[in-house]
Amino acid sequence: MHAHPELSGQEFDTAVLIARELTLAGLNPRLLPKGNGVLCDIDGRPDGPVIALRADIDALPLTDVKDVPYRSTVDGVCHACGHDVHTTIMLGVGMLLGRLAERGELNGRVRLIFQPAEEILPCGSLEVIEAGGLDDVVQIFALHCDPNLPVGRIGLRVGPITAAADNVTVRLTGP
**Helix or strand holding residue 37 (H, E):** none
Mean pLDDT of 113-118: 95
What is the pTM (predicted TM-score) of this model? Answer: 0.88
* Helix 12-24 × helix 83-102 angle, to 10°: 20
d(CA 117, CA 126): 10
Looking at the chain, the whole-number percentage of residues with pLDDT higher than 90 is 69
Mean pLDDT of 144-171: 78
162 pLDDT band, cuts 50/70/90, is low
For residue 128, the model assigns a pLDDT of 97
Residues 6+ apart with CB under 8 A from 10: 36, 58
Looking at the chain, the whole-number percentage of residues with pLDDT higher than 70 is 96
Strand stretches in the chain, DSSP E: 30-31, 38-43, 45-56, 107-115, 137-142
Whether pLDDT at 159 is above 90? no
* Backbone angles phi and psi of 59, in degrees to 5: -110, 175
